[in-house]
Structure 1
Amino acid sequence: MQKVKLQDLGLKDYKETWEFQEDLFQKIIDIKINNRRNETSNPTPNHFLFVEHPHVYTLGKSGDMSNLLLNEEQLASKGATFYKINRGGDITYHGPGQLVGYPILDLDNFFTDIHKYLRFLEEVIIKTLDEYNITAVRSEGETGVWLDVGTPFARKICAMGVRTSRWVTMHGFALNVNANLGYFDNIIPCGIKGKAVTSMEAELNRKIDMNEVQQKILKHFAEQFEVEFI
């Protein structure tokens, strides 16, 4: 059973968190490169970061800038920042009340299949939401977790976008728990037109305990990936 170092960063600036992720990510890659060059087998660590971000929009490397519907002045007026980053996917929003998880894993410790990795992440969120009697599913061809797929009321509750290099992962998922959904009106979320966004609070009509959601995610992640958090 793999061990995963868990850190809860609380409310933390997006750029600072991105740089912290990059540092952990690169250290794992450096170990792997050194192992290959020197024919050694030093173990690689695995990490899992929980964080909430101040209002921020991020655009993936394949994203379209036109999906951001604000200019710089409008961003500033909403107290939001913007970054073009190196994950997959298009544009998304992060903010208070949204639970963001960044698994920084060496998939050589698990399985070398990025599609399986994404499906496992989706399954963790689906099982977590099921504990709140929210029936969530996948939407074919659209990474993330959705409600009422195949109906006019389809809406996304959890966005996902990852980067991998040498089978090491970074970035991850963003689950709308008590997020202010009005901020999504300023983008075309994930570049997908005509699809709404929702949150656990909106679905259940009550504030949800973020720490409780964290614990449920950790439980399902540990079961799905067969890990122990340290």
Structure 2
Amino acid sequence: MVDIRELGVVQYEDGLKLMKSLQAQRISDEIPDTLLILEHQEVVTVGPRARNDGIRPPEDYSTQAVDRGGGLTWHGPGQIVCYPVFKWGLREQEASVAEIITKIEQWVIDALGMLNINGERDHRMQGVWVDGHKICSIGLSFLRWVSRHGFTVNVNTPPGRVEAVAGCGLTADTTTSLENLGYEVDAQAVKQALLDAMQFGPVTGS
């Protein structure tokens, strides 16, 4: 059973507090697996890898330090954010973080396929890529195998904003949006495809 919560636009700090609360509840089995679907106002989250390497976005971006894996991740309008507060290891192919990342990548690839968009993996970095560009970032943090944070899908982000943020090991313009690549698809269609492609059990909520 997965409880789906579509929250609209959420301040990043409020989303972080909610994730931490839900993670504690999921660890104690007070709630089922819960998927948060939302959008943030513009902010670039800075993971430990980026901090250790001294990598920062351009100066005109707000930033927020986070404890999930990975480097820089842009959040903002036109991006779908999914936070799976899931207890992993209860299903097949969830024995390691790498397997969980692969499972999420396949989830997004399957959803894009439903929209006739060819999503792929790329050796340059985890996530999902379309036409040689990264459109989905994944970064998780675990406590007792219950996850916080999650993944993003860039649908129709403001021109030039996500493109200017260079992820760890990537150059600027590598990460972009589906719209910038010429795909005409709205965010609601992508959300529905993600729900249709989810293979983690029945869903509740709306």
The 8 Å contact of residues 164 and 173 in structure 2, kept in 1 or not, is answered as: no
Identity %: 30
Matches within 5 A, 1:26-105: 26-29=24-27, 31=28, 45-64=32-51, 66-71=54-59, 74-75=60-61, 81-105=62-86
Give the Cα separation in 2 of the matches to 1:27 and 1:21: 10
Aligned residue number for residue 78 of structure 1: none
The 8 Å contact of residues 63 and 191 in structure 1, kept in 2 or not, is answered as: no
Aligned residue number for residue 220 of structure 1: 197
- Structure 2 gaps, min length 5: none
The 8 Å contact of residues 166 and 174 in structure 2, kept in 1 or not, is answered as: no
Aligned residue number for residue 117 of structure 1: 100
Q: Secondary structure at the match of 1:179?
A: coil
Give the Cα separation in 1 of the matches to 2:118 and 2:16: 31
More helix by share: 1
1:202 Cα deviation (Å)? Answer: 1.9
Give the Cα separation in 1 of the matches to 2:165 and 2:173: 12
Aligned residue number for residue 147 of structure 2: 169
Q: 1:201 to 1:126 in 2, by over 3 A?
A: same
The 8 Å contact of residues 181 and 197 in structure 1, kept in 2 or not, is answered as: no
Per mean C-alpha deviation after superposition, the further-off stretch among 128-137 and 84-93 is 128-137
Q: 1:140 to 1:60 in 2, by over 3 A?
A: same
1:25 Cα deviation (Å)? Answer: 0.7
Aligned residue number for residue 21 of structure 1: 19
1:180 Cα deviation (Å)? Answer: 1.7
Give the alignment's TM-score, normalised by structure 1: 0.80
Q: Secondary structure at the match of 1:156?
A: strand
Give the alignment's TM-score, normalised by structure 2: 0.88
Q: Secondary structure at the match of 2:179?
A: helix
1:70 Cα deviation (Å)? Answer: 2.8
Runs of 4+ with >3 A deviation: none
2:166 equivalent to 1:184: no
- Structure 1 gaps, min length 5: 32-41, 76-80, 149-153
The 8 Å contact of residues 156 and 195 in structure 1, kept in 2 or not, is answered as: no
Q: 1:43 to 1:18 in 2, by over 3 A?
A: closer
The 8 Å contact of residues 57 and 72 in structure 2, kept in 1 or not, is answered as: no
